Structure 1
Amino acid sequence: MKNYDAVIVGAGQSGMPLAKKISNLGLSVALVEKRAIGGTCINDGCSPTKTMVSSARLAHLVSRAADYGVILPSYHIDQETVKKRKDHIVTLFRGGAEKSLRKNKNIDILMGTATFKDRHTIEITTSAGTTKTIKGEKIFINTGSEPRIPEIDGLDNTPYLTSTTIMELEETPEHLLIMGGGYIGLEFAQMFRRFGSKVTIIDRAGRLVSKEDEDVCKEISQIFSDEGIDTIFNSEVKKVTYQDGFSITSKTPEGDISLKGSHLLVATGRVPSSARLGLENTKVKTSDKGFLHTDDFLKTDENHIYALGDVAGSAPFTHIAYHDAHIAFQHAYKGNGVSKNKRLVPYCVFIDPQLGRIGLNEQEAKTKGIQYKTGKFLMKHAGRALEVDETRGFFKVLVDPESKKILGATILSLDGGEILATLQMAMVGGVTYDTIATLPIAHPTLAESLNNLMGQIE
C-alpha cells in the first residue's frame, strides 16, 4: 500500500490544477479518475457543447446570409461532421490536460473508481475489476455531478438522451422534445433548432430562466419563439413510451396533453456524484440532496478531507470549480484561504445572444430588501450591434444609490460573457457607475455601450 501526501479523487477542473499546485511543493499526489481526464467540462460539458454551439451559430448566420447581401444557393447540416469536430476538440483538450499532468514526476494518475475504506484509506477498482489500496495524508474530493433522471412511468424503457449522449448523435433529430427549460435545455434547444430540428421544450415552471428578472425571461422567450422553438409551461411529464418515436403524456393546468417526437432529451438538472464514495466509512456528512458538507474553506467534517466543485454544492460552473482549487490549496497548505462566500460568481449561458450574470438582479435585491437604482440599454440602439446586425437583447445594471458602486449586472447580447468580465472587474475594483459613464471606451465596440448603460441609471 502506497502512502501519498495528497489523494485527489476526480480529475476535473478542481482536481487537475490542485494536483499541480500540491506537486509543485514537492509533495506526492495520487490523482484518481474513474472515467476520463478533464472531468465534465472537457469531456461532455463546456468544451464539446460550445464547439457544437459554434457550428449551430454558423448555420444560423448562413441562413441569414441574404440579410448581409451574400446570396447562397443552398446549404445543409452534416451532423456527422459536427460530431467529428466536437470529438476532435475533446481529444485535443483531454490530451493536453493529461500530458501536462503526466510530465509531473510527483503526480501518479490512477484510473478507477475510488471508495473510502476508512478516513485515510481509499480502494481503487479498475474497469477490469482489479483493486488497489492507497492512503492519503490529505484527501480532496472532486467527483462532480451527473444528469438527474426523474422517476417517470416508462422512461427507463426508452432510448432517451442526456446532455452527454445527445452529443453523440450522427443524425439531426426530426423533432426533439426537451424535458426541462433550464440553461442546459436552452442551449441544446437553440442548437438543434438551428441544425434543422423541430424543437419543443416541456417545462414544469411558469417561464424560462426563472432565476432571472422577468424582462430577461420575456426577451429570451421572444428570441426562442422567433426562431421557431415551441415551449409548453406548467407541464409535468407523467408517462413516456417509445415505438418508432417518443410519445409523452404531460399534466398541465388545462388537463393532460400528448406529445410526439423522434428524440427526447432529459435535461432536468444534475445531482452530485457522491453516493458511491463510501463516505459512511468517514465522518464526512452530506445534505439530503447528496452534496458534501463543507465549511467556508471547503473543508468537510474530517479535518484532512476537502470537497470541491459540484459535489460540494459550489455554483455549478467550471470557473468556480477551478477557484475552489485555489481556496482549498491556500487553506490546506498555506493557512490563508479566502472564504468561498466572499467571491463574486459570474456565469454565462451560451444561448445566442449570450446571457451573462453577476451579482444581484432586481428580483434578488427586492427579496433581500436592498435599495438600488437600475439602468438598461437596448442592443437595438447600440452602434456596433446595428453594424453587425445582432440587435437582440440588452445590458442591465443595478447600482447602490449612495456609494454608486455596481451591485450586479445582466448582459443579454452578442458576446455577453466578454462584456460581463469588464463589469466584474469594475465590481471587484469598486469603480462607480458615474466613472464608467464618462470613460472614453474604444469605438466602435460593444463595450462602449457601457457608457450608454450607465447614463440610463435613474
Structure 2
Amino acid sequence: MEKFDAIIIGAGQSGMPLAKKISQKGLSVALIEKRAIGGTCINDGCSPTKTMVHSAKVAHLVSRAEDFGIRIENYKVSQKGIKSRKNHIVEQFRGGAEKGLKKSENIKIIMGNAQFKDNHVLSINTNEEEFEIYGSKIFINTGSEPRIPEIKGLINSPFLTSSSIMDLNETPEHLIILGGGYIGLEFAQMFSRFGSEVTIIDKSERLVPKEDKDVCEEICAIFNEEGISTIFNAGVTEVTFHDNSFTLSYKNSEKEEKLSGTHLLIATGRIPSTKNLGLENAGIKITSSGHVKVNNYFETNISNVYALGDVAGSPPFTHIAYHDAYLAFQHIYEKTSHSKEDRLVPYCIFIDPQLGRIGLNEAEAIEKGIKYKTGKFLMKHAGRALEVDETKGFFKVLVDPETKQIIGATILSVDGGEILAVLQMAMLGHITYDTIATLPIAHPTLSESLNNLMMQIKK
C-alpha cells in the first residue's frame, strides 16, 4: 500500500493550493479528483458562468448601441459561439491548473473516486483498477453539487442544472428558472439578454431575501425593465414534459396555476458532496445539513481528518475555499492559528449591475441589536456612471455611530465587486468613514463616489 504524508480528496480551490503548500515542505501528497482538475470554480462555476455573463453584457450593449451614438443592424446571438468561447476559457484555466500541479514536486495526481476504509486508508477506484492508499493526514475538499428537489415528475424530465445549461447549442425560447437565488438570477439575466423569454418561479416572497428590501426592489426594477418575469410564493407540485415543452403545476395564494416553457433550469441551491465517501467507515460526523462537521480550524471529530470549502459548510465562494486552505495550512503545518470566524466574508453576484456585499446589512444589524448610521448614494448621480451610461443601482454603507468604523456595505453598481474590495480594506485597516469622505480619490472614477457616499451619513 502506497503511503502519503497527506491525501487530499478533491482538486478544487482548497485542494489545489493546499497540495502545493504541503508539497513545498518536502512532504508527499496524493491529490485525488474524480472528474476534472480545478473543481466547480474552473469547470462549472465562476470561470464559465462569468465568461458567459460577459457575452450577455456584450449582447446587451449591442442592443442599446444607439444610446451611445452607434448604429448596429441585424446582429445575431450565436449560442454555439458563446459555448465555444466558454469552453476555451475553461480549458485554458484547467490546463494552467494542471500544469502548475504537475510542476510541483511530491504531488501525485490520481483521477478516480475515493472512499474511506478507515481514518487513514482510502479505497481508490479509477474505473481501470481499484487499490488502497494510506494517508497520515486526510483532507476532504469535495465541494457541493446542485440540489434537485423532490417534485413529482421532475426526475424523469430533461431539466437543466447550472452545469448543463452552459452546454446548450440553442437559445431557449422560454426558459423557466425554478429558484430565485443568486445562481438563478445570473442565468435569468444572461439568457434574457441572449434572447430568451425568462420566468423565475420561487417559493420565497421576493428576490434575494437575504439582502435589504431596497436592494430587492432595485434588482426587481432592473429585471422588470429587461422583461424578466417573476412568480413568488409559489410551491411547485408537479413537472411534466410533453412535445418538447415543460409544464409546471404550482400553488400560489391557495390557487392551482400552471406555467409552460421550452426549457427548465433547476436553481434551488446546492448540497455538500459527501455521497459515497464512506465517512461512516472512519467515524466522521456530519451536520444536520449534511456538511462535514468541523471546528473553527477545519478539524473533524477524527484527529487526522480535516474538511475545507463548501463540503465543510464554509461560505460557498471560491475566495473563501482558497482562504480555507491558507488557514488550515497555517494551523496544521505552521502552528499559527487563525479562526475562520475572524474573517470578513465579501461576495459578489454577477448580475448587471453587480451586487457586492460585506459585513452587516440593515436587517442583520437590527436583528443583532447593533446601533448604526447609514449612507446611500444613487448611481444616477455618479459622474463616472453617467459618462458610461450605467446609472442603475446604488452604494450603501453602515457605520458605527461612535467609532465611525464601517460595519457593512452593499454595492449594487457597475463593477460593484471592485468597489467592494476598497471598502473591505478600509474595514480591515480601521479607516473611518469621515476620512474617506474627504479623501482625494482620482477623478473621474467609480471609487470617487465613495466620497459622496460617506457624505450622506448624517452627523
Same fold (TM over 0.5): yes
Name the SS for the 2:155 alignment partner. Answer: helix
Name the SS for the 2:134 alignment partner. Answer: strand
Report the more deviating stretch, 448-457 or 283-292: 283-292
Give the aligned length: 457
**Aligned equivalent of 2:18:** 18
1:150-174 deviation digits (Å, cap 9, x = unpaired): 0000001110000000000010000
Whichever residue aligns with residue 229 of structure 2, its letter is D
Contact 1:294 1:312 in 2 (8 A): yes
**Aligned equivalent of 1:359:** 359
Which 5+ residue runs of structure 2 have no aligned equivalent?
none
**Aligned equivalent of 1:179:** 178
Report matched runs for 1:135-284 at 5 Å: 135-243=134-242, 244-284=244-284
Question: In the TM superposition, what is the alpha-carbon distance from 1:441 to its structure 2 partner?
Answer: 0.1
1:86 & 1:236 partners in 2: Cα distance? 34
Whichever residue aligns with residue 57 of structure 2, its letter is R
Name the SS for the 1:162 alignment partner. Answer: coil
Name the SS for the 1:118 alignment partner. Answer: coil
**Aligned equivalent of 2:445:** 445
Contact 1:65 1:72 in 2 (8 A): yes
Name the SS for the 1:76 alignment partner. Answer: coil
**Aligned equivalent of 2:61:** 61
Whichever residue aligns with residue 238 of structure 2, its letter is K
Give the fraction of aligned pairs with identical amino acids, expressed as a percent.
68
Contact 1:125 1:131 in 2 (8 A): yes
Which 5+ residue runs of structure 1 have no aligned equivalent?
none
1:100-132 deviation digits (Å, cap 9, x = unpaired): 10112200000101100001000111134x212
Report matched runs for 1:344-423 at 5 Å: 344-423=344-423
1:260-302 deviation digits (Å, cap 9, x = unpaired): 1000000000000012111111131101221011111111111
Question: In the TM superposition, what is the alpha-carbon distance from 1:254 to its structure 2 partner?
Answer: 4.4
Contact 1:115 1:277 in 2 (8 A): yes
Contact 1:275 1:290 in 2 (8 A): no
2:383 & 2:74 partners in 1: Cα distance? 31
1:420-454 deviation digits (Å, cap 9, x = unpaired): 00000000000000000000000000000000000
**Aligned equivalent of 2:313:** 313
Question: In the TM superposition, what is the alpha-carbon distance from 1:203 to its structure 2 partner?
Answer: 0.6
2:66 & 2:115 partners in 1: Cα distance? 58
Question: In the TM superposition, what is the alpha-carbon distance from 1:73 to its structure 2 partner?
Answer: 1.5
2:311 & 2:123 partners in 1: Cα distance? 19
Report the more deviating stretch, 426-435 or 278-287: 278-287
Whichever residue aligns with residue 371 of structure 2, its letter is Q
Whichever residue aligns with residue 234 of structure 2, its letter is S
Report matched runs for 1:19-34 at 5 Å: 19-34=19-34
1:73-116 deviation digits (Å, cap 9, x = unpaired): 22110000000000000100000000110112200000101100
**Aligned equivalent of 1:99:** 99
1:72 & 1:46 partners in 2: Cα distance? 31
Whichever residue aligns with residue 413 of structure 2, its letter is S
Whichever residue aligns with residue 208 of structure 1, its letter is L
RMSD: 0.6
1:153 & 1:324 partners in 2: Cα distance? 38
Name the SS for the 2:364 alignment partner. Answer: helix
Whichever residue aligns with residue 151 of structure 1, its letter is E
4+ residue segments displaced more than 4 Å: none
Contact 2:24 2:105 in 1 (8 A): no
Contact 1:376 1:395 in 2 (8 A): yes
Question: In the TM superposition, what is the alpha-carbon distance from 1:336 to its structure 2 partner?
Answer: 1.1
Contact 1:31 1:108 in 2 (8 A): yes
Whichever residue aligns with residue 152 of structure 2, its letter is D
Whichever residue aligns with residue 423 of structure 1, its letter is L
Whichever residue aligns with residue 177 of structure 2, its letter is I
2:110 & 2:330 partners in 1: Cα distance? 25
Scaled by the length of structure 2, what TM-score is found?
Answer: 0.99
